[in-house]
Amino acid sequence: MRLRIIAAGSWMAWKRNSVRALVVMFIMSIVAMSMMSGSVALSDSVETAALLAFKNAQPDPGKYLRSWTGNDPCGHLWNGIFCKQDPSTNLSHVTEIRAMNFNLRGKLVPDLGNLTRLERLNVMNNGLTGQIPPALGRFGNLKLFLVNNNDLTGELPPELGNLTNMTRFQIDVNRLSGRIPPQFGNLTNVKHLHMNNNSLNGTIPVDLSRCGKLNHLILDHNQFSGPLPPALANIPGLTIIQLDNNPIGSPLPLSWAGISSLLKLSLRNCSITQTTPELGSLPNLTFIDMSYNNLTGVLPSNISSHVITLAFSNNQLEGIVPTQYAALNEIQNLDVSNNKLNGSIPAFGSGTSLTNSSQIVVLDFQNNNFTGWDAATSDVASRPNKEVWLTGNPRLCGSSSDNVIVPQPTQLLVCQPTQSALQVYGTVVPAGENAASCRSCGYPEVAVARGSTSAANVTCGCAVPIIVHIRLKSPSFTYMDSYVDYFEGLTARALGIAKWQVRVSNATRSPNLYAQDITLFVFPASNSSFSQEEFDDLYTQFASWIVSAGDEWSLSIAGPYDFLDFTTATASMKANGLDTGAVVGIVVGAVAASAALAALITMVVLRRRHADYSRAKLYGGMSLPPGINIKGVKAFTFAELARATNDFNVDHELGQGGYGKVYKGVLADGIIVAIKRAQEGSMQGATQFYTEIELLSRVHHRNLVQLLGFCNDRGEQMLVYEFMAGGTLRDHLIPTEIMGFARRLHIALGTARGILYLHTEADPPIFHRDIKASNILLDERMNAKVADFGLSKLAPMPDLNGAIPQHVSTIVKGTPGYLDPEYFLTQKLTDKTDVYSFGVVLLEIITGMFPIAYGKNIVREVNRAMETGDIMSIADPQMDTYPSKQGLEPLLKLALSCCQNESEARPRMVDIVRELEDIWRNTKSSVSGSMKDMPSSTFSIDMSHLGEPSSDSFQDVSYGMVNSKGQLEGKIDPR
């Protein structure tokens, strides 16, 4: 306890607030009590052994299973373990493993099968390898089997057919192979079979027709072959059949056209061979995709009037578009392109979705033999959010796609070469209904319009939402845009809360797929944040699919979702009544102390909750949801950044720092970025990471490397920065490169301005703590930008009385040679610590020397030269052109004043910037005398933007730089 009291003491010293002090004391006393209360194991020892066997099989880089120690998983804080007590024996049994997004990389060991009371196995979104052990068939009580999104291989064990209580089976996105065992027909309670994106093969077993409760059969992206089992039509509540991208190669069973419950039939690219079946007896059908098959004959004339998405493209269909299609009220995407259809296109235009200006509708008739179209259809093409594509119909658009023969404006539009309907309208970022007009709120709060949806009845407020990230993997709509409102309502009703409490904050459609990635905000009913209990309840509802289990959702056009993430910005702290100020305080206060304190708080929160059903050991595994946008900083998924770097290929490595490796990446939109990937040990808690991102997102200055995005996904933390083509300053101070004086001065001034911004303009102020030549990056025009302040600590904040503490006591961090000697001795961090390091950089810029080399210290060497008056001897010979001794002297003096031992004696950044600007000005006036070897006209243009050296002002500087711009552009340098 001693150590902890000291830790808390320093925190309190920083923030003198007796209420908070009491909170800390209170917390500590609870910890003390709980530690003394002894620990008699209340868990089943067989189950404990099974969990430890699983833990031991995991490389666990994110240390998510660190808390799995001891012999009492149900009693002691095991991250992600949930139990129920058996009243007859008083023994607790493990009922749930919730280890999604834990970055686990090991195997599912057979010992897990010893958890015979397990109801929910949730190890989604990890990197688990190896096979699914047959022993998992011993989970007699299992309801949810969630191993999707891993790296599992091998075949499905027939023993899984014993899991007769199972309602949900998700093995999608793995590398599983082999057949679906016929024993799966015994899964009489299963509602969801999600096996998409594997390498499963063989036929779809007819036995599945015995799964009488099946709703969703999702098998797309596998190697299944035909014939398809007609008996599936016997399942009374089947709503989704999704088989896309399988080499089926046989006809659709006629019986399937009679599955009257069917909402969605998706057989894209399945080599289906037959004359198109009539689908008129599928009254509830909202989605049909039979494109990219070998269908012949005519389009089905009679289809459900509820159809939203209807795709028959890329077949060999003949005949006309049935006139009934023109009356579809909900149509969003009709795609009959690339067939042999003919006749005149009927009179589209009066359907509800076609007349509603806010709804997107895309009608694609490209590459057929249509001979005419109705004026109503033509009119549609001129309406907002509507597109009608006719390209590739020679009679309508001419024989080549850009040869437009019919001279009407709308025809010009529709006869242009176009993309696939799935490539348009990718992202929706809806304005949060009435909240848009509410005032903006400070992080982590978000503006919320409470009350009814009519603007007159809302009250504006600020609250911390829970952020839920889900993926609709099989919606009936193509474009989410028109369904945002619908979806918010559906979710709110499923959760039993008011509609205004749910807001879609972002929706992105997966490229060329119908799947939608959605970021949801869920707001508390009246308070400014959710209580721990509410948080836990909502989490459980999403993670257990309780939220979508009702008929309203499971029969809805939203389809099933993948649960990707669930978090709230300050959950772990809020739960203890510590406000955001305290969070910042802890970060600022003392690093070691805050870590200890945060750990204690977490322990207390969890300890408090030790009940027969222990809940919410979430925070250890809490990660930020990909998709949340913090003021212009984009959240990337792990997959996106892996793609950008070719799976973090060694060829993309730019360098390695204390934080981890840095990669060059090319994003999907072609933008080149630098990606910093935290290595093991550099990862931060989610709250701290989030706090830091939020801080960085507010830092904008042209002399600071801009943070573009971040990733907190799959147990990895990464920062995405603008890419700096010029590499580091240090790389240019080399004997083989000549750099002129003006260029050097420009870099020094830019660097100083960047640091000045961090000290005075950033809110809260930031002390860099690690200014050095290799942290100063250059863009392709040699403009300097300070990097790596992302890992710096905040400057001290005013306390409650408004007084600013003079320094921050913290662990000494920095690089030898640049390290402020006073800071090193006293551990007191001030703005002058950065001033010292900047002085050293300035000396490097002038002399080209390293801070420490061959036992020589740059500060000492320059001081000596100044004393002897021989300053030209230490000027960098690679400077090529520079002003006289009189020009160099003030710069050296400034640098040395920055490097004084006593911080008091050093100038402030603002003085330094002013002085550098003066030197800049004087250099210009002395230029005609001392810089004879350069064209004075260039120099006067060059110096004409005094005080504001912009990138353009130096663009034409050709002197002093041997490396041409071209050479620099291709250069990739470690940071």
Ligand X SMILES: *[C@@H]1O[C@H](CO)[C@@H](O)[C@H](O)[C@H]1NC(C)=O
- Give catalytic residues, as residue numbers: 770
| Residue indicated by tokens 């057929």 | 368
Distance CA 608, CA 543 (A): 23
β-pairing verdict for 716-722 and 672-678 = antiparallel
3-class DSSP state for residue 360?
coil
Q: Which is nearer to ligand X, 186 or 410 (CB)?
A: 186
Give the CA distances from residue 707 to residues 661, 682, 684, in Å, rounded to whole numbers and listed in that order.
16, 18, 17
At residue 138, φ and ψ (nearest 5 deg) are -90, -5
Taking the complex as a whole, how short is the minimal distance between the CB of residue 264 and ligand X, in angstroms? 13
Q: Which is nearer to ligand X, 550 or 632 (CB)?
A: 550
Task: State yes or no: residue 137 binds ligand X (CB under 6 A).
Answer: no
From candidates 125, 126, 167, 183, binder to ligand X by CB under 6 A: 183
Q: What number of other Cβ atoms are within 10 A of residue 611's Cβ?
A: 11
- Contact window for ligand X (CB under 6 A) among 177-185, 248-256, 578-586, 950-958: 177-185
Taking the complex as a whole, how short is the minimal distance between the CB of residue 55 and ligand X, in angstroms? 11
Which H helix or E strand runs over 14? helix 2-14
Q: Which is nearer to ligand X, 259 or 752 (CB)?
A: 259
Q: What number of other Cβ atoms are within 10 A of residue 935's Cβ?
A: 12
3-class secondary structure for 321-359? CCHHHHHCCCCCEEECCCCEEEEEECCCCCCHHHHCCCC
Task: State yes or no: residue 186 binds ligand X (CB under 6 A).
Answer: yes
SS3 content of the chain, % helix, strand, coil (to 5): 35, 20, 45
What residues between 782 and 801 interact with ligand X by CB under 6 A? none
Sign of CA dihedral 826, 828, 829, 834: negative
Taking the complex as a whole, how short is the minimal distance between the CB of residue 305 and ligand X, in angstroms? 12
- Contact window for ligand X (CB under 6 A) among 17-25, 47-55, 91-99, 869-877: 47-55
Taking the complex as a whole, how short is the minimal distance between the CB of residue 773 and ligand X, in angstroms? 55
Taking the complex as a whole, how short is the minimal distance between the CB of residue 328 and ligand X, in angstroms? 17
Which conformational region is residue 451 in: left (phi greater than 0), alpha (psi within -120 to 50 degrees), or beta?
left
At residue 845, φ and ψ (nearest 5 deg) are -65, -40
Distance CA 235, CA 238 (A): 6
Binding mask 262-281 for ligand X (x = CB under 6 A): --------------------
Q: Which is nearer to ligand X, 555 or 941 (CB)?
A: 555
From candidates 25, 32, 33, 49, binder to ligand X by CB under 6 A: 49
Taking the complex as a whole, how short is the minimal distance between the CB of residue 183 and ligand X, in angstroms? 4
Distance CA 433, CA 502 (A): 11
Is 676 marked within a binding site?
A: yes
Burial of 1 (0-12, 13-18, 19+ CB in 10 A): exposed
- Contact window for ligand X (CB under 6 A) among 68-76, 180-188, 341-349, 933-941: 180-188
Task: State yes or no: residue 330 binds ligand X (CB under 6 A).
Answer: no
Task: State yes or no: residue 941 binds ligand X (CB under 6 A).
Answer: no
Taking the complex as a whole, how short is the minimal distance between the CB of residue 4 and ligand X, in angstroms? 36
- Contact window for ligand X (CB under 6 A) among 74-82, 179-187, 596-604, 851-859: 179-187
Task: State yes or no: residue 32 binds ligand X (CB under 6 A).
Answer: no
**Do residues 674 and 686 touch, judged by C-beta distance below 8 A?**
no
- Please, what is the Cα angle at 30 between 25 and 36, to 5 degrees? 125
Ranges assigned E (strand) in 102-161: 120-122, 144-146
Task: State yes or no: residue 353 binds ligand X (CB under 6 A).
Answer: no
Identity at 877, one-letter amino acid code: P
DSSP letters for 21-70: HHHHHHHHHHHHHHHHT-----B-HHHHHHHHHHHHT---TT-TTTT--S
- Contact window for ligand X (CB under 6 A) among 35-43, 181-189, 591-599, 744-752: 181-189
Task: State yes or no: residue 260 binds ligand X (CB under 6 A).
Answer: yes
From candidates 207, 517, 831, 973, binder to ligand X by CB under 6 A: 207
Task: State yes or no: residue 182 binds ligand X (CB under 6 A).
Answer: yes
Sign of CA dihedral 127, 131, 132, 138: negative
Distance CA 104, CA 291 (A): 38
Task: State yes or no: residue 71 binds ligand X (CB under 6 A).
Answer: no
Task: State yes or no: residue 286 binds ligand X (CB under 6 A).
Answer: no
Task: State yes or no: residue 209 binds ligand X (CB under 6 A).
Answer: no
| Residue indicated by tokens 């007859």 | 88
3-class DSSP state for residue 202?
strand
Q: Which is nearer to ligand X, 262 or 695 (CB)?
A: 262
Q: Which is nearer to ligand X, 114 or 434 (CB)?
A: 114
Taking the complex as a whole, how short is the minimal distance between the CB of residue 185 and ligand X, in angstroms? 5
Quick one: which of 852, 851, 857, 805 has its CA closest to 829?
Answer: 805
- Contact window for ligand X (CB under 6 A) among 46-54, 312-320, 572-580, 685-693: 46-54
From candidates 157, 161, 432, 626, binder to ligand X by CB under 6 A: 161
- Contact window for ligand X (CB under 6 A) among 44-52, 310-318, 433-441, 807-815: 44-52
3-class DSSP state for residue 99?
coil
What residues between 501 and 530 interact with ligand X by CB under 6 A? none
Task: State yes or no: residue 231 binds ligand X (CB under 6 A).
Answer: no
Q: Which is nearer to ligand X, 164 or 527 (CB)?
A: 164
- Contact window for ligand X (CB under 6 A) among 183-191, 285-293, 308-316, 709-717: 183-191
Q: Which is nearer to ligand X, 109 or 600 (CB)?
A: 109
Taking the complex as a whole, how short is the minimal distance between the CB of residue 13 and ligand X, in angstroms? 49
What residues between 550 and 589 interact with ligand X by CB under 6 A? 555
Taking the complex as a whole, how short is the minimal distance between the CB of residue 852 and ligand X, in angstroms? 55
Taking the complex as a whole, how short is the minimal distance between the CB of residue 93 and ligand X, in angstroms? 15
Q: Which positions ≥6 away from 264 have C-beta within 8 Å?
A: 239, 240, 241, 242, 285, 286, 287, 288, 474, 476, 559
From candidates 185, 230, 426, 765, binder to ligand X by CB under 6 A: 185
Q: Which is nearer to ligand X, 259 or 654 (CB)?
A: 259
DSSP assigned state of 264:
E
CA 217 to chain CA centroid, Å, is 29
Task: State yes or no: residue 159 binds ligand X (CB under 6 A).
Answer: no
**Do residues 174 and 147 touch, judged by C-beta distance below 8 A?**
yes
| Residue indicated by tokens 């009246």 | 526
DSSP letters for 375-438: HHHHHHTTSTTEEEE-TT-HHHH-SSTT---S--HHHHHHTS----GGGS--EE----GGGGGS
Task: State yes or no: residue 141 binds ligand X (CB under 6 A).
Answer: no
Binding mask 87-126 for ligand X (x = CB under 6 A): ------------------------x--x------------
Q: Which is nearer to ligand X, 181 or 524 (CB)?
A: 181
DSSP assigned state of 480:
G
- How many chain residues bind ligand X (CB under 6 A)? 16
3-class DSSP state for residue 844?
helix
Distance CA 699, CA 707 (A): 8
Q: Which is nearer to ligand X, 115 or 891 (CB)?
A: 115
From candidates 53, 460, 591, 866, binder to ligand X by CB under 6 A: 53
Q: Which is nearer to ligand X, 186 or 810 (CB)?
A: 186
Taking the complex as a whole, how short is the minimal distance between the CB of residue 50 and ligand X, in angstroms? 5
Distance CA 464, CA 638 (A): 25
Task: State yes or no: residue 203 binds ligand X (CB under 6 A).
Answer: no
Task: State yes or no: residue 261 binds ligand X (CB under 6 A).
Answer: yes
- Binding-site residues from annotation: 676
Report the interface residues with ligand X, using CB under 6 A. Answer: 46, 49-50, 53, 111, 114, 161, 182-183, 185-186, 207, 260-261, 284, 555
- Binding-site residues from annotation for ATP: 676
